[in-house]
Structure 1
Amino acid sequence: MLLYTELVSPRLEYITNFIQSIIGESITITTDEELFIQSTQVKISYSSEAICTQAYHIQPQGLLFENSIEPIDILITSCREQICFFASQNDSHGFDVWSAIFYLITRYEEYLPHEKDSYGRYAHTNSLAYRYQFLHLPLVNIWLQDLQQRLWTAQNGQRSTVNGQRFAFTPTYDIDIAFAHQHQSIVKNIGGFFKDLMRGDFEKVIERANVYSSTAKDPFDTYEWLDDIHKKYQLQPIYFFLLAAKRGIYDKNIPPKKKGMQQLLQQHYSKYLVGIHPSWQSGDNDVLVLQEKQALERITHAACTKSRQHYIRLSLPETYRKLVAAGITDDYSMGYGSINGFRASVASSFFWFDLEKNKATSLLIHPFCWMDANSYFEQQFSADEALLELKDYYNIVKQVGGNCIIILHNSFLTEQPQWLPWRKMYEAFLSMI
């Protein structure tokens, strides 16, 4: 494909590279009008006026030719029965899909003044997707399927049956607390025992006693069960381990210096992809991400390049700059820790664009759409309701050929009475798909 533009900019180059990665077609940018007119390729005129009748014309809204970050009045409209914005009446497409995608995947709105949630994160209620009720849709992928079909039709006179995107399903696990009782400090175990006793939680007292005496497995030790599931359904999961050196109010995992934690990490590294789960504390201390990453590397004797923020504590651009500085190349934090859905309105990976520097980076972002903790704590779903929600996200991502990335926790998959329905729900979901 050949894209004509009157001006080449970093933003235009970035979003064109992203679009070609999704539709599976190479797009060359040119400012040479005569070359464009003479070309026999599929042609897109990204210009204020149509260049020639053979070209598919998209009229720029202007966002891609700016260098600053300014508030934008977004007018939500509809185009071919899909929600859209940056509408135009004078082109082939109906709206500036290039700029609209750029606005969503760069998280432009998160660089503007906004309200924080109770954890100090960008509140999902600020977002365009939540306010206009498309948070549940991978809208970018839907738009690009439509664009691909229209370009194909314009060139060949018929609809295409080819989907340029390839569907994938990736289960991921956040290991916030590797073991409930085993490998915990003596002080914590004794304190927990007496707290359970004082509360009259005799079931938990018996559970602790059985684990301490080695007559029962630690309830959070769901790793063999997960291994069996992965083999049965031929899954390739990714594990993210919290490795804070010191405990904190939100960081309660087994310290990485513990032998049991080290063995667990080595076992998983030998079978799966493993990444770092930067602690809550690392959000306030720049050096901790690198220290936690190095702790994982010392234990596994391998480079760590993947990460996901604990509690999805993500602040743009600071968090991503910190990860880049620490040598992280792939991040899986793009989603909300307060509601399920598509934070960037996309179900495909994309490189982070630093809006403040107006520059594309080498940090690859892998968005997730569903997390068990959101379903349970934030949306207050039952296991049955969560199953329906999870199936819906799986199906819509499959329809657009994206990557359905979900997050689960080992502590949600136990055989404890509270969590057994969630364990059964997950296995039921996998058997269905």
Structure 2
Amino acid sequence: MILIYVPVFSERIKYTFSFIFEKILGISFRLTNCSNNFIYESSPKFSYSFSSLKNEIHFSSCNLLFETDIKSQNLIEILNDPFATTFFLLSRYEEYLPYQEDIHHRFSYKASLVKGKIDPLIPWIDTFAFDLFNQLKKKFPSLVYKNRKFTFINTIDIDHAWLYKNKFWFKNFKSLGKKGLTFRWKDFYHQILVLSGLKLDPYFIYPYIKHLNIPTFYFISFGLGGRWDTNHHPKNIAYRKLICQLYNQDYSTIGLHPSYESNKDFTILKMEKLALEKLLQQKISFSRQHFIKLHLPNTYYNLINLNISADFSMGFQDHIGFRAGTCTPFYWFDLKNNKISELKIYPFCVMDVTLKNYMKLSIEEAENKILNLLDSVKKVNGTFISIFHNDSLSNYGEWELWRNVYEKLIFKANDLQIYPQNH
């Protein structure tokens, strides 16, 4: 048990200290605002306030954790206060302030206030938590933390289940015509062979994933289609059969991959969730936003209203690393209402599209980046969550040889933990 002196209790303080001590270190703590009780307490303790009390381990605070509103902050003051930094990162405070949106109206690493100040490739909060423990242990040798195990969570987004198969004939006719007009004869004949059943569709990688025998989350696109939603139609019989097969597969869990348009229309989001639940005859409680279209707080309000209990969208689309500064799943703090919510956030730290299309990395560079990222998570025994798509694992077209990147990750993460399923 650690005693922490704070001049005033607040929801932000409880949330921040709970995450650091209980969620990461597995140590219980108690808050007090009574200076006399604190001074004469002999157990492990420290103070978090504007000034120290009496020769104790002391952390000087800025105002952030004692406030209840949302406003522009002095970033220098926050970065000099590791607990305020923790809350600033976890709550995604900067995403409630004005920022420059990207082409898809998203927050990006490029727009982050802490870009160049906090290394996104390191789980900053987890690293600070263990540094804090080591500092406290020097004065209180009896202090121990609860060991946790490194966990790898394999997630696959299915934006289009097949490249050629099970599509309306006109789409395939148009695709073949385009290949012929541009003299892409190799791709032309490959598509013919797939459509005639002589070759497997390159995006049909599901037996390969099943053979790996690792827990896998499949996030399913189930919208009606559009410019940025190229999934098979929800009424497509083959698509529906595939989703049911994946659901009934060992070690697999199905989550919703809400369509691009659903992010700004709650009615669409609700329709997609209900349709997927009706198909599987099972409640869907996991989600990840298509295109990582995460707009706070509205996206999370919509998910909560639909009884989604966990979301996997917390990460940058344009850079690998830790958007919320941690590799530990956490409950979302609702800044507008100044309270903790029941929505659990599972932060991912690497996505295939980020590596290839945004960061423009070669296969070898991508492998090195992933392995370094993996090592940083293992150092704090955190949770490593990756995003790959079935097309990026196809080894076909623009994704030729990119399965090697995925397999390097799987091999390195050889101490996989069986993640509890939700069937």
For the criterion TM > 0.5, the same-fold answer is yes
Q: Which amino acid aligns with 1:73?
A: N
Which consecutive unaligned segments of at least 5 residues does structure 2 have? 414-423
Confirm or deny: 8 A CA contact 2:159 2:230 kept in the other structure. yes
Q: Which amino acid aligns with 2:25?
A: I
Q: Which residue of 2 aligns with 1:188?
A: 171
SS at match of 1:411: coil
Please say if 1:213 is aligned against 2:196: yes
Q: Which amino acid aligns with 1:201?
A: R
Alignment counterpart, residue 242 of structure 1, candidates 209, 221, 224 = 221
Confirm or deny: 8 A CA contact 2:120 2:322 kept in the other structure. yes
Distance 1:363 1:318, change over 3 A: same
Structure 2 matches for 1:234-313, cutoff 5 A? 235-244=214-223, 246-270=224-248, 271=250, 272-313=252-293
Distance 1:371 1:322, change over 3 A: same
Which consecutive unaligned segments of at least 5 residues does structure 1 have? 77-84, 88-95
Question: How far is 1:56 from its partner?
Answer: 2.7
Q: Which residue of 2 aligns with 1:100?
A: 85
Question: How far is 1:432 from its partner?
Answer: 3.6
Counterpart CA distance in 1 for 2:126 and 2:140 is 21
Structure 2 matches for 1:354-433, cutoff 5 A? 354-416=334-396, 418-433=398-413
Structure 2 matches for 1:327-342, cutoff 5 A? 327-342=307-322
Query: How high is the TM-score relative to the length of structure 1?
Result: 0.90
Please say if 1:224 is aligned against 2:207: yes
Deviating more after overlay: 418-427 vs 346-355: 418-427
Q: CA RMSD in A?
A: 1.9
SS at match of 1:361: strand
Confirm or deny: 8 A CA contact 2:48 2:59 kept in the other structure. yes
1:32-91: CA deviation from partner (whole Å, max 9, x where unpaired): 3344344443212222333344x4322221111111111112228xxxxxxxx543xxxx
Counterpart CA distance in 2 for 1:306 and 1:108 is 24
Distance 1:16 1:261, change over 3 A: same
1:353-398: CA deviation from partner (whole Å, max 9, x where unpaired): 1112212111111111111101111111121111111101101111
Counterpart CA distance in 1 for 2:356 and 2:318 is 10
Q: Which amino acid aligns with 1:189?
A: N
Counterpart CA distance in 2 for 1:339 and 1:37 is 46
Counterpart CA distance in 1 for 2:46 and 2:216 is 39
Q: Which residue of 1 aligns with 2:418?
A: none
SS at match of 1:421: coil
Counterpart CA distance in 1 for 2:61 and 2:371 is 37
Q: Which amino acid aligns with 1:70?
A: K
Distance 1:165 1:56, change over 3 A: farther
Distance 1:17 1:133, change over 3 A: closer
Report how many residues are paired: 409
SS at match of 1:114: coil
Q: Which residue of 2 aligns with 1:127?
A: 112
Q: Which residue of 1 aligns with 2:419?
A: none
Confirm or deny: 8 A CA contact 2:108 2:317 kept in the other structure. no
Confirm or deny: 8 A CA contact 1:106 1:344 kept in the other structure. yes
Q: Which residue of 1 aligns with 2:328?
A: 348
Confirm or deny: 8 A CA contact 2:217 2:254 kept in the other structure. yes
Please say if 1:59 is aligned against 2:37: no
Query: How high is the TM-score relative to the length of structure 2?
Result: 0.92
SS at match of 2:28: coil
Counterpart CA distance in 1 for 2:46 and 2:283 is 42
SS at match of 1:207: helix
Q: Which residue of 2 aligns with 1:321?
A: 301
Counterpart CA distance in 1 for 2:221 and 2:323 is 23
Deviating more after overlay: 272-281 vs 193-202: 193-202
Q: Which residue of 1 aligns with 2:141?
A: 156
Question: How far is 1:312 from its partner?
Answer: 0.3
Q: Which residue of 2 aligns with 1:79?
A: none
Distance 1:337 1:152, change over 3 A: same
Confirm or deny: 8 A CA contact 2:27 2:146 kept in the other structure. no
SS at match of 2:156: strand
